[in-house]
């Protein structure tokens, strides 16, 4: 059974763009307190803003910094309540159901973008959820994965959400592809490179840390796409 727990009754209506971070939960650190508008837990019934792992907070901090504080964030928590096995890195979730539920919840909230910094292998249910989100005009940004292969595992999802879905690979600070990043193998889906090596961020306890992996490249792309979409809509409305 999936539980919805602890969103502050509803996400406040705002003129600011709204991004859903589907991850391990987010801590309400000083850096995020003004932009984190709520949290849903799709894989348990756990206290608000008390994640077991740092991952979601690190991702949210990077996104917030790249967006210069100009977007609101809703946390949609999907990490397994049982925790990660010793050979897996968080956030881990063996079932597709919480991830599908998270994407659909983000759609129902009317978000502008969904950030999926998860280890995703192509799954028909998740692929369909990405397609549904894209059909609603929502940007879907996915980490390309950290296996160092020449083929990402989630290309079906990228194709299903084209042109609003994108895979993100990781580079170092100089722009060189990181050896651990899964690389693109075709041109019928979107793939971009963003910095994902030693990216400065903040842990769930508020400590300064560094993240390496495509998980930490993805929120940079999410922020850039959301801001670009916002500027485009403002220009069409004649406000710029």
Indicate whether this model's pTM tops 0.85: yes
Predicted pLDDT at 14: 58
Give the active site residue among 27, 117, 134, 215.
215
Give the active site residue among 27, 55, 112, 134.
55
Whether 231 is catalytic: no
Whether 55 is catalytic: yes
Strand pairing category for 113-116 and 139-143: parallel
CATH number at 18-236: 3.40.50.200
Closest CA to 88 of 57, 118, 130, 127: 118
Q: Which one is predicted more confidently, 7 or 179?
A: 179
Q: What percentage of the chain reaches a pLDDT higher than 70?
A: 93
Cα–Cα distance between 206 and 214 in angstroms, integer? 22
Predicted pLDDT at 231: 82
Environment class of 239 (CB within 10 Å of its CB; exposed 0-12, middle 13-18, buried 19+): exposed
Question: Which pLDDT tens digit goes with each residue over 79-121?
Answer: 999 999 988 889 999 999 999 999 999 999 999 999 999 999 9
Give the active site residue among 23, 79, 112, 123.
23
Closest CA to 146 of 60, 230, 211: 211
Strand pairing category for 208-211 and 199-202: antiparallel
For residue 132, pLDDT beyond 50:
yes
Q: Which two tokens stand for residue 31?
A: 């850096």
Whether 188 is catalytic: no
- One DSSP character per residue, 193-215 reads EEE-SSEEEE-TTS-EEEE-SHH
Q: Which two tokens stand for residue 166?
A: 């994108």
Question: Which pLDDT tens digit goes with each residue over 16-57?
Answer: 999 999 999 999 999 999 999 999 999 999 999 999 999 999
Predicted pLDDT at 8: 44
Predicted pLDDT at 88: 87
Confidence of residue 13 (pLDDT cuts 50, 70, 90): low
């Amino acid at each position: 059974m999936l539980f919805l727990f602890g969103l502050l009754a509803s996400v406040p209506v705002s003129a600011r763009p709204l991004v859903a971070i589907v991850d391990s939960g987010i801590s309400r650190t000083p850096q995020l307190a003004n932009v984190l508008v709520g949290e849903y837990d799709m894989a348990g019934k756990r206290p608000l803003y008390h994640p077991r792992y740092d991952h979601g907070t690190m991702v949210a901090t990077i996104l917030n910094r790249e967006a210069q504080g100009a977007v609101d964030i809703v946390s949609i928590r999907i990490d397994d309540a049982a925790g990660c096995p010793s050979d897996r890195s968080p956030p881990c979730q063996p079932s597709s159901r919480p991830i599908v539920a998270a994407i659909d919840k983000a759609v129902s909230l009317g978000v502008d973008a969904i950030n999926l910094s998860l280890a995703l292998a192509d799954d028909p249910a998740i692929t369909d959820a990405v397609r549904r989100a894209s059909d609603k005009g929502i940007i879907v940004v996915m980490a390309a994965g950290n296996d160092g292969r020449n083929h990402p595992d989630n290309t079906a999802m990228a194709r299903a959400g084209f042109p609003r879905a994108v895979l993100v690979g990781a580079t170092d600070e100089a722009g060189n592809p990181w050896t651990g990043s899964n690389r693109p193998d075709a041109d019928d889906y979107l793939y971009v490179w963003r910095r994902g090596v030693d990216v400065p961020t903040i842990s769930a306890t508020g400590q300064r840390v560094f993240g390496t992996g495509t998980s930490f490249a993805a929120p940079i792309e999410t922020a850039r796409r959301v801001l670009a979409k916002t500027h485009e809509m403002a220009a069409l409305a004649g406000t710029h």
